[in-house]
Each structure stands twice: as C-alpha cells, then as structure tokens.
C-alpha cells in the first residue's frame, strides 16, 4: 500500500476565501487524484493531478474553482477557491499503485472542510 | 440506472453471524473490481480486489459473476470491528484512468454484541 498524508486535516473557513490542501505520498507514483465526499454520499472524482501538465477535470469541476498543482511525483495540492457553504465536504487525495497486476487506489486521510 | 448499485443497508446483524453484500454494475466491459471499507469519518481503505475465480482473505470472500454483472462480499463470523460502510468499486478502463473508476454508494454494516 501507499502511505499518504494530507494537511490540513480539517478547517473552518469563511465564505469567499480559499483553502489549499496538500497531499504527500511516501514514494513516487504516476497517478494522483482528488475526490470529494459529501456527507452520506460516495466519492466523486474532481480531477486527475498530472505531473508537469494541467490537471484533467471531470464534468462539473473547473480549474478556476479547483486549481491543482502537481510539481513532482510525490506531491499535489488542491485549492478550493472563493468558497461557499456548498463546498463543505471531505476532500480526499488518492494515489494509484499496481498491485498484483491491478491498478489500485490508496487514499489519504481526507480534509474536512466547513464553510460558514 | 446507476453504473454501480449497492443496497445501502443498514445491515444490523449479531456478532458471529455471516453477512453478504451484493453489488451490480452496468458496464459489461468493466475491467477490475474492488471492495473498500470506510469507517465513520475516515478514508476508504482497500479491503480486497475481486478476481474472476473468486478470492478469500481470512473471514472475507469476494466473488465476481461476469455473466450477471455482480460482485459479492461474504463476511463470516462477523466481529464488532467489522462495522463500517463497504464500498463496491468498479474500474471500467483498460488503462490506468481514474475517470473510469466508479464507486458505489456503499452498504452500511452494523454488528451488535
């Protein structure tokens, strides 16, 4: 498995501000991703963090709202911009490793965001 | 129809019981399958991959039925610590691509003493 850390683990933010979440993997991985999980719901993929190029966003998510950086193969950041209460959620990063011939995702502990 | 469907539960069973969850998927070309476990306020953690021949890990048995497009998870001799939400995950991509990974909404399991 991969050891993945995220910070902050939680934050309470004011409407209109931005928060940057950091994700660190214990070794180099090709693929890193950012997900959102709202209370009582399953995970929704926000984007794939590409090293050396712009992130690939899923439908409904845009770079202006969720800018992502991936400066190297072990680190990525997600910024939640101009926050509103609807952005309150858990944000999870994941890294993919090949295990037994199957690409498998491992998750960081998540960042619990509350927007007032 | 959702791409991956699970019974949301909750399943409330006594300690020591055997419990089974099913998950159905809509894309017949799906490539790989997983069960993840998510504890309250924690991140999902890989429980086991699901192989075509079926696989077992201790008290946990996973099976795949490609013809009927469903995956199952069987937990024998359940423990209090098995209480969690179990997520069925399907990867529809032949190549590494997170955008093809679909999470079910999860099945909640509660084991009572």
State pLDDT tens for residues A12-26: 999 999 999 999 999
Please name the member of B41, B44, B97 whose beta carbon is closest to the beta carbon of A107. B44
B104/A110 Cβ within 8 A: no
A interface test, pick of B6, B23, B40, B44 with most A CB neighbours within 10 Å: B44
Q: What is the pLDDT of residues A45-92, one digit of tens each?
A: 999 998 888 899 999 999 999 999 999 999 999 999 999 999 999 999
CA nearest A33 in B: which residue? B98
One DSSP character per residue, B32-60 reads EEEEEEE-TTS-EEEEEEE-TT-EEETTE
Rounded Cα distance between A25 and B110, Å, is 32
Contact check, Cβ <8 Å, A30/B96: yes
Question: Minimal Cα–Cα distance from B88 to chain A, Å?
Answer: 10
Do the beta carbons of residue B82 and residue B75 sit within 8 Å? yes
- pLDDT, residue A22, reads 98
Q: What is the pLDDT of residues B22-60, one digit of tens each?
A: 999 998 888 889 999 999 989 999 999 998 888 999 999
């Amino acid at each position: 498995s991969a050891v993945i850390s995220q910070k902050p683990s939680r934050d309470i933010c004011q409407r209109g501000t931005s928060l940057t979440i950091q994700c660190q993997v214990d070794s180099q991985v090709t693929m890193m991703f950012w997900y959102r999980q709202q209370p009582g719901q399953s995970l929704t993929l926000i984007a794939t963090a590409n090293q050396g190029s712009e992130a690939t966003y899923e439908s409904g998510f845009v770079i202006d709202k969720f800018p992502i950086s991936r400066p190297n193969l072990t680190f990525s950041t997600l910024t939640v911009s101009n926050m509103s209460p609807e952005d309150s959620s858990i944000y999870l990063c994941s890294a993919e490793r090949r295990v037994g011939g199957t690409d498998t995702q491992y998750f960081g502990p998540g960042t619990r965001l509350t927007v007032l | 129809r959702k791409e991956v469907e699970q019974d949301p539960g909750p399943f409330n069973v006594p300690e020591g019981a055997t419990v089974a969850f099913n998950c159905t998927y809509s894309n017949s070309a799906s490539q790989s399958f997983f069960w993840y476990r998510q504890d309250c306020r924690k991140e999902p953690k890989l429980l086991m991959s699901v192989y075509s021949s079926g696989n077992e890990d201790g008290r946990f048995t996973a099976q795949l039925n490609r013809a009927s497009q469903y995956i199952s998870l069987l937990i024998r001799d359940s423990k209090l610590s098995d209480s969690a939400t179990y997520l069925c995950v399907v990867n529809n991509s032949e190549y590494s691509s997170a955008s093809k990974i679909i999470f079910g909404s999860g099945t909640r399991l509660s084991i009572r003493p």
